[in-house]
Amino acid sequence: MLTMKNILALLLCVSSSFCKGNIEDSATTSAEGVITKRFEFSFGQSLLFISDSKEIDLRDKEAIILPTSAMLFFVEFRPLNKFRVPVFFNLPTESKQFLVNGSLINERANPSFGTGFQYPLFKFNIDKETILEWEMGPFVNVLIPKRGNFLLAPIAAGRIRIVKKKDFVMYLGTSYSFGIDSWGLIYGTGFLF
């Protein structure tokens, strides 16, 4: 059976095989090949969706799950053109919500932070000032519960970025957490400096 885990693992393996050893990044590289912009700082939004397996358990209890929204703070360090180190923090703006027999039930949504590695898989020049790029890589997510027992979860994540005038960034991405068995949608804007 083809599950979301298998699809993401297959996509990560196939896409990494297309990744070149040294991808030129004109958005962060000068004409002499020297990296000029090493950081990206962005604000965004993330939506967290629960997995199908947990949804089946909740359907037995006649529950409907609503996506949880969070503010996303994202910083990416670029030591090399082909290698990036992102750090993120998700701060929930609402509680986890479930509809059970017509009643809305709220639970505390935990903030989380994490880091990982990303690799640019492809780059496409739209025009002289605009670049479309796809990044993907493994992450580690740390959930911060109220009682202090931290939970680590591996994540596969990727995003499509549009870089305009070598410093403005817009992105849309997705993530899948293997430890929590949940899927997320991320989007936002930022700057390279």
HEC assignment per residue over 21-82 = CCCCCCCCECCCCCECCCEEEEEEEEEEEECHHHHHHHHHCCEEEECEEEEEEEEEEEEECC
Which of 28-42, 58-72, 108-122 tops mean pLDDT?
108-122
pLDDT at 71 over 90: yes
Higher pLDDT, 42 or 15: 42
Q: Which domain holds residue 32?
A: 4-52+68-92+110-192
Inside any domain, residue 63? no
As for how many domains the chain has, the answer is 1
Return the closest-CA partner of residue 175 out of 30, 59, 44: 44
Coil, strand or helix: which one is 1? coil
- 165 within a domain of the structure (yes/no): yes
pLDDT at 31 over 70: no
For the segment 120-139, the average pLDDT, to the nearest whole number, is 93
Looking up residue 81, the CATH number of its domain turns out to be 2.40.160.20
Q: 186 near 175, Cβ under 8 Å? A: yes
Q: What is the pTM of this model?
A: 0.76
Min mean pLDDT across 4-8, 23-27, 67-71, 179-183 is at 23-27
104 found inside a domain: no
Residue 59 lies in a domain: no
Distance CA 46, CA 117 (A): 19
In a domain, 9, yes or no: yes
Mean pLDDT computed over every residue of the chain: 80
End-to-end CA distance of the chain: 45
pLDDT of residue 21: 38
170 CB-near residues (< 8 Å, 6+ apart): 161, 162, 164, 188, 189
Residue 86 has which token pair? 């992102």
pLDDT in tens, 146-191: 777 888 989 999 999 999 988 999 999 999 988 777 889 999 999 9
% of the chain with per-residue pLDDT over 70: 74
Task: Tell me if 57 is assigned to some domain.
Answer: no
pLDDT at 61: 63
The C-alpha angle with vertex 21 and arms to 16 and 22, in degrees rounded to 5, equals: 125
Q: From CA 177, how far away is CA 184, in angstroms rounded?
A: 8
**Could you tell me the two tokens for 141?**
């997510």
What pLDDT is attached to residue 20? 41
